[in-house]
Each structure stands twice: as C-alpha cells, then as structure tokens.
Amino acid sequence: MSIPSIESGIAKPRNLTRIVVAMSGGVDSSVAAALYVEAGYDVVGITLQLYDSGATPARTGSCCAGQDIHDARRVAAHLGIAHYVLNYEDRFRHEVMDDFADSYLRGETPIPCITCNQTVKFRDLLAAARDLEADALATGHYVRRVIGDSGLEMHRARDAERDQSYFLFATTGEQLEFLRFPLGDIGKSEVRRHAERLGLAVAEKPDSQDICFVPGGDYAAIIEMLRPGAAEPGDIVDLAGAVVGEHAGIIHYTVGQRRGLGIAASEPLYVVAVDAASRRVTVGPKVALLCDRVRLRQQQFIDPEASLQSAGD
C-alpha cells in the first residue's frame, strides 16, 4: 500500500501551514487528520457537538455526539495534536433539525446533511477555523478539489461508490478555496488500511448510517418531537382523486414510497404526490412515477460565469 501524497497547495513550509481538520470521530476524518500529521503539517482537530446524545439516543453508525466526540479526542491524543470540541447544538437545531421538520410538513423529503454542510459546517466551521489562524480546513468527505483551466472545480471522488459530491452541491467558490479533501483519490478499503497502519483506534468503527439525529430511522418521531401536533390526518387518494384510505400525517410519506400505505389493491401502489395544503397523499402504479420535467431551485455555481450563462439560458 502506497502512502498518498498530501499537498495543501499553499506556498508555505508544511510545518508552518496550519490545517484544521473537522473530526467527527469516524474513520474517514481521523485518517484525514493522520495523513496531514504524517506529511508534516501543523494540524488542529475540531469536533462539533451537534445534538444532545441523551435526548437523541446513540446508536451504532451515528455521529457528532457522545461516543463520537470521545473517539475524536482519542485519535487527536494519539496523533499528538490540539483538539477542540465546539458546542453547536443551538445552531444545529435551528439550521438543520427545524428545517428538516418543516420540509416534511411541506410535503418534501429533505437531505439534512446538505443543509448541515451548507450552514453549520461550511459556514460556521470555516469561520472557526479562520479564528484558529488556519490556512485551510480539511474534511473526510469523498470528493475532489481540482484546479481546472478556469479555476477551482469540484469533482466526484475516484471511488464512485463512496462519492459524496452531491452532499456538497451548495459549496461556494470562496469556501472551496479554503477547503481540502485528502480522501478524494483514495478508496474506502484503503482508508481503513491506513487507519490500521497509523494505529488509529477507529480503524474498524462502522460507517455513519442514515441521519445522525434520527435514532432508528424513525423520522416521524423526531418531527413529532420538534413540531408537536403538526402532523394532521388526511386522505389517501388515487390518480382520479377518489379516496382509497386515510393517513395519520403526511410526514409518514415520501414520493416513491411503497411500503406502509395500508391499502389493499390489485397491483402495487406507490406514493405519487404529497400535497401539504390539502393533506392529501396521492398513490398510483409505478408507471405514474415517471416524469419528463423537473423543477430546480438553490442552484449553486462555483464558476460565476456559468451562473450568468445559466440565467441567460
């Protein structure tokens, strides 16, 4: 196994180049920190406490609370680097968890990891890194930062199965200037081998699964906790608008869902649409899920010229 070349792209001696690493307590961010230490950089670890692990029960494969903070501390101590834990619970609740609940109540299916990266991590954490006089902020995301002909570009990871570029679509060009992704050219199995080689206690730790603040994957329970009584019952209708059943709240449904409809039919039925205003869930056969257009919002262009061109089109 070869040792990856870790370059910061910063015109300073490595020992004078400070890299702050966002350490979640998992194997990916731990290896990212270790590789920078091994390469001779001045490394500082930061771990965010994002939610109360007492109120949100811990489970295998969660992150950003309880055991994960302990694991990040252990790795930092092993590497001999400074490590800080920042309590961002209030920010995370407001920016991510509240938005998650409200999105479901609007009939949407959010991806809170995107919101977290867009706000708490790549806005507030970048500011904290600058306060620590960092030259760059590194994360354990599987994505590549590439300098192309027209400037900085974000590319998918070499390991297509681990690519996380879709989580980072909201990253701005200014943020990308400051960010580093040392795992973009490394596969997951190789990352675990590096963790073993470097003696990291998290080498065999399971990967994060699902959403960190949703214990057991029960989204509806979290939404009920955040917005008590907001989930009201309504009708389940077919494509013609005829009532075929009732539901206990639209938060239990997402487009494309098949299981849990509680409707007997001659063919499999899927959720085709969720209307928050009328509290109606529309179901139909699989073919009804096909569409020939999509509505986009929150587009983010790293290249300002691409943004102007898109607006013109």
Return d(Cα 4, Cα 6) in angstroms, integer: 6
Domain ranges of the chain: 14-217, 232-313
Instruction: Provide CATH code, domain 14-217.
Output: 3.40.50.620
Report the SS3 class of residue 179: strand
- What's the confidence (pLDDT) of residue 227? 95
**In the annotation, is 212 catalytic?**
yes
More confident residue, 310 or 218: 218
Helices (H), the chain: 27-38, 67-79, 89-92, 98-105, 112-116, 126-131, 173-178, 188-197, 219-226, 304-312
* Percentage of residues in the chain having pLDDT higher than 90: 71
The single residue of 63, 113, 116, 291 carrying the catalytic annotation is 116
Q: Per residue in 140-198, pLDDT tens? A: 999 999 998 888 999 999 999 999 998 898 899 999 999 999 999 999 999 999 999 99
Return d(Cα 311, Cα 303) in angstroms, integer: 13
| C-alpha dist (Å) from residue 118 to 100, 103, 126, 201, 202 | 14, 16, 11, 30, 27
- What's the confidence (pLDDT) of residue 70? 95
* pLDDT beyond 90 at 28: yes
Return d(Cα 309, Cα 65) in angstroms, integer: 43
Return d(Cα 89, Cα 278) in angstroms, integer: 34
**In the annotation, is 116 catalytic?**
yes
In sequence order, what are the residues at sequence separation of 6 or more whose Cβ sits closer than 8 angstroms to the Cβ of residue 259? none
Q: Per residue in 29-58, pLDDT tens? A: 999 999 999 999 999 999 999 977 554 444
The single residue of 63, 113, 212, 291 carrying the catalytic annotation is 212
Q: How much is the mean pLDDT over the chain?
A: 90
Token pair belonging to 164: 């996380």
Class of domain 232-313 (CATH, top level): mainly beta
- What's the confidence (pLDDT) of residue 296? 85
Return d(Cα 130, Cα 33) in angstroms, integer: 17
